[in-house]
Amino acid sequence: MISKNKTKLLKEICDEVWNCTDSPLYAYRKENNYYPVLGEGSHDAYAIFVGEAPGKNEAQTGRPFCGRAGALLDELLLSISLPRENVYITNIVKDRPPENRDPTPEEIKFYAPFLDRQLSIIKPHVIVTLGRFSMEYIMTRYGLARRLGSIGAIHGELFIATLPYGKVLLMPMYHPAASIYNKGTKKYLEEDFKKLKKSLDELPKS
C-alpha cells in the first residue's frame, strides 16, 4: 500500500472520529473545544507506539504526546537514535477523558476499532504499548491474552502478536507519564528502550 493511499485512508478515520456524535466523549470534547487526537508520524512507520488517551495538552492541539510525557518520549526515542518523525504515535482512545481519568471499558470499546484500522493501514512490524490499557487491549485482541500479566511483571518483554497482515513484534512498556509521578519507572523505560533498539537492529528491514 503506497503512502498516498495510506494517508487517504487515515484521513478517512480522522474524519469519522471528528463526526462521531455518538462517541461517549463527543459532548465533553465539544463543550471544551478540544480536538480529537488521531495520531502523528510516518504512515510507513516500522514501529508504532500506542498510548491510552490524550491529555489536556494533546486535546488542545490535536497532537499526541506533546506535554510532559511527550517530552520524555521524545528523549527516549532520541536515546536510541529513532527520530519521532520515523515512528507513528497514537492512543487507543482518541478523545480526552475528563480530568485525565483512566479510559472506561465503554470508551475503549468504542474507539479501539479505529486503532485496529490504523494498524491495518500502517502495517508496523513493531508495536510498543505504553501503559496497561493499551497493553491489555492489544495483547487480548491479537492472540496474547494467556501471556498477560501486570505491566510491572511483563514490561520490556518481547511477544509475537498476530495481526491480520502478519506477525508483529510487541513490547509492553510503562506509560511515560508514570515516571512523572513515580521517578523509579524512568529507569525501566530507559532499559526497555535499549531492549527495543537491540530488537529493531536485529529485525530484517525488507
CA 138, chain centre distance (Å): 10
Q: What is the CATH number of domain 3-200?
A: 3.40.470.10
pLDDT value at residue 23: 96
User: Would you state the pLDDT for residue 205?
Assistant: 63
What pLDDT, on a 0 to 100 scale, did the predictor assign at position 182? 86
List % helix, strand, coil for the chain (3-state, nearest 5). 50, 15, 35
**pLDDT tens, residue order, the chain (206 aa):** 667 899 999 999 999 999 999 999 999 999 999 999 999 999 999 999 999 999 999 999 999 999 899 999 999 999 999 999 999 999 999 999 999 899 999 999 999 999 999 999 999 999 999 999 999 999 999 999 999 999 999 999 999 999 999 999 999 999 999 988 888 899 999 999 999 999 998 877 65
The CA-CA-CA angle for residues 153, 156, 162, to 5°, reads: 100
pLDDT of the residue at 184 = 86
- Cα 202 to the center of its chain, rounded Å: 23
How would you class 143 by CB atoms within 10 Å of its CB: exposed for 0-12, middle for 13-18, buried for 19 or more?
A: middle
The span from the CA of 158 to the CA of 169, in Å, is 7
Q: What is the pLDDT of residue 11?
A: 96
| CB of 83 closer than 8 Å to CB of 47 | no
Domain boundaries, the chain: 3-200
* Single pTM value for the model: 0.95
Q: What does the alpha-carbon distance between residue 61 and residue 59 come to, in Å, rounded to a whole number?
A: 6
